[in-house]
């Protein structure tokens, strides 16, 4: 049988209710909005999930730092699978895109060679 200790009740209900703030938990408890919720005290434990959810990361740049200045200077290649396979039983296609002109070539393949 799994039972939480009295000191862990706040943390347990914090986790059960989607990491709701402790003020929100106190409101639910005091107004008896949730059945069987005990009186909530602010936990001294730091919730690592809440901390990682509040972390910010630097934004991705919207423009690349380098672009090609002439044709065929930079080619982007990609291999993609097709599900279901084409009428000719081709399961993959390989694409090549010229960075300067944006011209695209696509070749359909039977396998990943």
> Residue 3's pLDDT is what?
46
Q: Which two tokens stand for residue 3?
A: 């039972």
The dihedral sign for the CA sequence 106, 108, 112, 113: negative
Distance CA 18, CA 59 (A): 27
Whole-model pTM: value is: 0.45
Using one digit for the tens of pLDDT, what is the confidence trace for 77-105?
A: 999 999 998 889 999 999 999 999 999 99
Note the pLDDT tens digit of each residue in 14-28.
888 888 888 888 888
Strand 75-81's sheet: what is its strand order?
75-81, 92-98, 104-109
Residue ranges of the domains in the chain?
Answer: 6-53, 75-109
């Amino acid at each position: 049988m799994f039972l939480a200790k009295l000191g862990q009740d706040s943390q347990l209900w914090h986790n059960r209710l989607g990491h709701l703030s402790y003020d929100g938990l106190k409101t639910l408890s005091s107004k008896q909005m949730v059945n069987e919720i005990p009186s909530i005290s602010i936990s001294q434990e730091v919730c690592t999930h809440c901390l990682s959810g509040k972390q910010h990361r630097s934004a991705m740049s919207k423009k690349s730092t380098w672009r090609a200045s002439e044709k065929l200077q930079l080619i982007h290649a990609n291999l993609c699978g097709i599900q279901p396979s084409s009428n000719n039983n081709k399961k993959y296609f390989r694409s090549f895109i010229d960075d300067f002109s944006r011209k695209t070539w696509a070749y359909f393949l039977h396998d990943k060679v």
